[in-house]
Amino acid sequence: MTDLFAPLTLRSGAVLPNRIAKAAMEEGIAGVEQAPDGRTVELYRRWGAGGTGLLLTGNVMVHAEALTGPGAIVLDARSPLRPFREWASAAKENGASIWMQISHPGRQIQVDMPGVTWGPSEKAVDLGSALSKRFGTPIAMDDAQIRATITRFATTARRAEEAGFDGVEVHAAHGYLLSQFLSPLVNTRTDEWGGSLENRARMLVETVRAIRAEVSPVFAVAVKLNSADFQRGGFDPDDARAVIAMLAPLGVDLVEVSGGSYESPAMTGRAAGAPSGIPAADGRPGDARTAAREAYFLELAADLAATSAIPLMVTGGITRRETAEAALAEHVAVVGIGTALSVTPDLPARWRVDQGAVAALRPVTWKNKPLASMASMAQVRYQLRRTAAGKDPRPGIRPAAALVRDLIVVRGALRRYRRWLADRPSDGAALAPAEGRAQASGK
């Protein structure tokens, strides 16, 4: 069986020191100019010292006018590079590699955010009558906006390499823009960007091509892809298998397998129709459930790995070394850990000496799945903010308290982001007409 702590050489020649990755968790702690600051540096320095081989950042936005949240970090053509160099340097101090996850939220933008809300089609996020009102109706992107967005991804990747990052991961999962184009439920276009799977995958494929043309051959390029959307009639495992085959000739080093979206949040273990591996309600790391039940995308990832020409990474619910090793036994190349590292930043180092996580977050048992997902993510962000401030995590915080604290933090970040964006010159040609921007922003 593959050793969890054995190095992995990728297609580009990049070498990961072991098979453990810190999965992307959106930190929401952007500083001045929507750039990383000392908090981000401290957070990743601590993870880098904790034995993880690959650190994947939370969402870094390619478009300053389209953010998943007001605390998101932006790296575009005008962003200052010095804070990003400090971020990468701190993460790599103890030998870890760091890849920047680059993303565009598309329609998954809350209605009170300034800027633009775009999508492949004019189809809004559906979370039920109450929560749906938090999101604006997107405008369907025209060809120029699609191509400009592809260029944005390539620009961000090039600048990430200039800043000292070892690679990028293109986010095409969780219902963000590239995932929206892949979904037959969201993408109802009839032009070259919609219809057949080949057309729906065109934006992702062209984005990867554009990135590879901008970065050096030894710079790693990965893709995060849904194994399924977990919505009837949506993107499914057969689609995922076909898209992986499309990516194989393009120099992709790794595909991370995940699943779900805001509408069906399988990535937090709370989707209707989600895979059987939903974490037990008691949330105990030592629970007697099977490894496959803890790693809730493992079964799908293992099935895809059987035919994939690209090494796969699986993320979702992994907390124990036994589960990680079970994933490697299923021919998965890398295991991603998210929530467990928010509570125990040095978990891989503890695994080396046969120790486990120090604790687990309180389970969220709310019946409203989208709201429960929001609370779960708020619990994680609370831990990240404490670690970034040099404090120890506090996993016992109640979900409701974490959500309230998160909403307060977001409110302050929104005020700062609005001021910053208002003072920043518009990107011009790539933006929607004024009337489209007003509609997209819910104004």
Helix (H) and strand (E) counts in the chain: 15, 14
What pLDDT does residue 405 have?
97
What pLDDT does residue 129 have?
65
What pLDDT does residue 51 have?
96
What pLDDT does residue 296 have?
56
Residue 346 confidence (pLDDT) above 50: yes
Residue 443 confidence (pLDDT) above 50: no
Task: Please give the Cα distance from 303 to 322 (Å, whole number).
Answer: 20
Q: What is the dihedral of CA 436, 439, 440, 443, to 10 degrees?
A: 130
Q: Name the residue among 52, 9, 110, 25 with its Cα closest to residue 417.
A: 110
What pLDDT does residue 1 have?
67
Q: Whole-number mean pLDDT of the chain?
A: 87
Q: What is the CA radius of gyration of the chain?
A: 20
What pLDDT does residue 425 have?
82
What structural domains and CATH numbers belong to the chain?
Answer: 8-440 (3.20.20.70)
Residue 99 confidence (pLDDT) above 60: yes
DSSP-derived secondary structure for 253-293? -EEEEE---SSS-GGGT--TT--S-PPPTT--TT-SS-HHH
What pLDDT does residue 80 have?
96
% of the chain residues with pLDDT over 70: 85
Which of these ranges, 146-160, 310-324, 423-437, has the smallest mean pLDDT? 423-437
Of these ranges, 89-98, 252-261, 272-281, 422-431, the one predicted with the greatest mean pLDDT is: 89-98
Q: What is the mean pLDDT of residues 217-222?
A: 97
Triad 369, 373, 374: Cα angle to 5°: 120
Q: Cα–chain-centroid distance for residue 384?
A: 15
The answer to whether 98 touches 44, Cβ cutoff 8 Å, is: yes
The answer to whether 193 touches 203, Cβ cutoff 8 Å, is: yes
Q: How many CB atoms lie within 10 A of CB 388?
A: 20
What pLDDT does residue 47 have?
98
pTM of the prediction?
0.89
The answer to whether 225 touches 244, Cβ cutoff 8 Å, is: yes
Q: What is the mean pLDDT of residues 388-403?
A: 96
Considering only residues 134 and 437, tell me which one the structure prediction assigns the higher pLDDT: 134
Task: Please give the Cα distance from 282 to 19 (Å, whole number).
Answer: 28
Q: Name the residue among 312, 308, 339, 341 with its Cα closest to residue 327.
A: 312
Burial (CB count <10 Å: 0-12, 13-18, 19+), residue 241: middle
93: left (phi over 0), alpha (psi -120 to 50) or beta: alpha
Q: What is the mean pLDDT of residues 231-236?
A: 71
Task: Please give the Cα distance from 276 to 266 (Å, whole number).
Answer: 11
Sequence-distant (6+) residues with CB within 8 A of 371 are 131
Q: Cα–chain-centroid distance for residue 330?
A: 23
Residue 389 confidence (pLDDT) above 80: yes
- Residue listed under structure tokens 């276009």: 189
Triad 65, 55, 78: Cα angle to 5°: 30
Query: How far is the CA of 83 from the CAs of 2, 31, 88, 383, in angstroms?
Result: 37, 10, 9, 22
